[in-house]
Structure 1
Amino acid sequence: MDSEVNTGDRTLAARVAAQTLGEEPLAPPQHIATDRGVFSSVFLVELPSRSVVVKLPRQGPNGDAARASGAYERERIAYLKLVEPGMPVPVCFGVVDLKSGPAFVLEDLTDHVTVDQIEGLKPTQALAVVDAIVDCQQRMSVERALGHGVRAVAPMGFDPQSLRKGLSSVFPTAGFQRLLHERVERISTFAELPEPVVCHGDPRADNLVLGPGVRLFDWQQIAVQAGEADVAWLAATSTEPRVRRSCEIDLVERYAVRMERSFDEAWHRYRLAMVVPGLAVLLLAQRRAQGRLQRLVEVSINRIAIALDDHL
């Protein structure tokens, strides 16, 4: 069992579900997705009328990092202020404030089709995710997001010292070294791209289900910025390099058509947007992880390094 999950967490998940929906659980909550995330503990709770997923903020170093970065609050804003009915997002039945942060009671998607991010998405699956990304970006209000304090251009908030520390945690490829050296200029160029949208910020295979329809969850990294950043993040983290190279033109073309933008413009923006996964993974490399999560970090670093070499 995860060292950061105990009987108290299960009791808390049951209480959060009961408080939100007015029903007592039929059995002790089941800890699920134990090897999928570092910021939250997720429980499946069986109620008389339905099953729900309760997402609790974590204690310990990873939870502290999430609180300090505003990740939990961003997810609260996403579910309560930005998500609209009909979006490819799980239904949020309610949010309960705890001392450690907000707890979310969400639609149960455990019977939906998933793909292991380490194995990677197939091109057709990645295209379906791009459609879901666009569906969200087209309907989320930038004005409302900024009004609620959602950050603009995620990399602008990355601490330079932490990025340099992260570089020492990865194999210092030419791409990472160049990106860090040119960080200020590249972030500035990316930030100046017109027509920003509300980006999911972390649309990777572990944060979505594929069937019967794509749903995006884990909205802790939302940011107002060029929408191609979500496509770059998806391609760089969730497809094997050979698969990405075979389908990324199709991914960007699908995005361009849906956003009524020329392919050349979208491709240019997509390449500039590689600054987002390129810098973010230097922060990810410093997270405490073990088992599958550590393997996921290693795979992500390798994939993003190759994507940087292809596009910088």
Structure 2
Amino acid sequence: MTHDQPPGLDLDRLRAHLERERPGLVGGELSAELVQGGRSNLTYAVTDGTGRWVVRRPPLGHVLATAHDMGREHRVISALHPTAVPVPEPLLLCEDDSVIGSPFYVMEFVAGTPYRTAEQLRPLGPERTRAAVLGLVDTLVQLHAVEQESVGLGDFGRPEGFLDRQLRRWGKQLDASRNRELPGIDELHAALGRNLPRSPAPTVVHGDYRLDNVLLGPDDRIGAVLDWEMSTLGDPLTDLGLLAMYSERLDVPESPVSTTAGAPGHPSPAELIERYAAGSGRDVSAISWYTAFAWFKLAVILEGIHYRYTLGQTVGAGFDRIGALVPVFIHNGLTTLRKG
């Protein structure tokens, strides 16, 4: 369904701005569709009937709708576009709120599918599924091989003390949404703090690297890595730990949080870790810490969603089941750390 005027995007003003800044880019009238909404940045597919583009802007009514978010995302894809990392071509950044009411950027439209669940992957069959997920690891190796200085991202983050800061940050997030007993979560947080690994040399990290944040093309290759809003300079193994976590089977019936791990042919976390180690040459002996940290981080995020749900601030399908998932994530985090 195409909306001529989706919420948060004034197409007349957008078109006038594009004609001024990128003459000749747009031909006919613009129409647009909101393809991804919610609490993270909004994504619109825009077309003039011939060409297609993507516009990203902060969420509506978002108090932190600063140019910083858009500027960071645009900056990282601009830096990575000439490298081996597949990202959409950035076309324009606008930090002037007066155009559509917030900063935004425009990039090329890349055709492809984000696979969010094992059920969506199943029709690909085991071989194609396996190749797609292994390709995800190979692309992560490529990202972590980018020399940040050489692409102008030398000051993109503060890698010194990165893990310690991350742990503190998520601990604060947890404290901000505590309204029930969560057995084991403080134990997990403290154990992560006691066993902080020594980080390898910093790289550009994506921050939310998983199968549903990439587009798989018709050839099952990754056409584009999307959603760079969490990206920074830091410890590359945090990306690998998150990917390993999302590759574990969640044995929870009707889980509102999906992983793709149950699809036939999906490689195991151990296989993904091994492939990353072989491709990157990095020491992955401390990976259980990073995977346990990913379980902790997701437990905190889910508890935040549950907390807002209990306050009546979140409505929609599945939110009533989020709270029951949190103990599973805590348990998995503790188990992973003990195994390591």
- Is TM > 0.5 for Structure 1 vs Structure 2? yes
Corresponding residue for residue 116 of structure 1: 116
Q: CA deviation at 1:98?
A: 3.1
Structure 1, 153-162 or 250-259: larger mean CA deviation: 153-162
1:96 & 1:293 partners in 2: Cα distance? 36
Matched, 1:64 2:63: yes
Give the 3 Å change call, closer, same or farther, for CA 7–200 of structure 1 in structure 2: closer
Could you tell me whether the CA contact under 8 Å between 1:232 and 1:274 is conserved in 2? yes
SS at match of 2:36: coil
2:279 maps to which of 246, 252, 258: 258
Corresponding residue for residue 161 of structure 1: 172
Corresponding residue for residue 136 of structure 1: 143
Mapping for residues 44-59 of structure 1, pairs under 5 Å: 44-47=45-48, 50-59=51-60
Mapping for residues 37-116 of structure 1, pairs under 5 Å: 37-47=38-48, 50-60=51-61, 63-65=62-64, 67=66, 71-99=69-97, 102-109=103-110, 111-116=111-116
Q: CA deviation at 1:54?
A: 0.9
Give the 3 Å change call, closer, same or farther, for CA 295–301 of structure 1 in structure 2: same
RMSD (Å), alpha carbons:
3.8
Amino acid at match of 1:208: V
Q: CA deviation at 1:163?
A: 2.0
Could you tell me whether the CA contact under 8 Å between 2:57 and 2:70 is conserved in 1? no
1:47 & 1:120 partners in 2: Cα distance? 30
Gaps of 5+ in 1: none
Scaled by the length of structure 2, the TM-score of the pair is 0.70
Structure 1, 95-104 or 285-294: larger mean CA deviation: 285-294
Could you tell me whether the CA contact under 8 Å between 1:31 and 1:41 is conserved in 2? no
Mapping for residues 146-157 of structure 1, pairs under 5 Å: 147-152=154-159, 153=162, 156-157=165-166
Q: CA deviation at 1:82?
A: 4.6
Q: Which protein has greater RCO, CA pairs closer than 8 Å, 6+ apart?
A: 1
2:88 & 2:190 partners in 1: Cα distance? 40
Give the 3 Å change call, closer, same or farther, for CA 50–294 of structure 1 in structure 2: farther
Matched, 1:241 2:250: yes
Could you tell me whether the CA contact under 8 Å between 2:27 and 2:48 is conserved in 1? yes
2:35 & 2:320 partners in 1: Cα distance? 15
Amino acid at match of 1:164: D
Amino acid at match of 1:64: V
Q: CA deviation at 1:13?
A: 4.6
Amino acid at match of 1:270: I
Could you tell me whether the CA contact under 8 Å between 2:206 and 2:228 is conserved in 1? yes
Mapping for residues 191-230 of structure 1, pairs under 5 Å: 192-211=198-217, 212=219, 213-214=221-222, 215-230=224-239
Q: CA deviation at 1:72?
A: 3.6
Give the 3 Å change call, closer, same or farther, for CA 20–286 of structure 1 in structure 2: farther
Corresponding residue for residue 255 of structure 2: none
Corresponding residue for residue 21 of structure 1: 22
Give me the identity figure in percent.
19
Q: CA deviation at 1:41?
A: 1.7
What count of residue pairs does the alignment treat as equivalent? 296
1:142 & 1:293 partners in 2: Cα distance? 43
Matched, 1:286 2:338: no
2:150 & 2:322 partners in 1: Cα distance? 34
1:44-69: per-residue Cα shift (whole Å, max 9, x none)?
11146621111112232xx335649x
Amino acid at match of 1:260: G
Q: CA deviation at 1:34?
A: 3.3
1:88 & 1:173 partners in 2: Cα distance? 42
1:85 & 1:106 partners in 2: Cα distance? 16
Amino acid at match of 2:272: L
1:204 & 1:284 partners in 2: Cα distance? 17
1:169-203: per-residue Cα shift (whole Å, max 9, x none)?
7x8353x33222335434xx24x322222111111
Q: CA deviation at 1:164?
A: 2.2
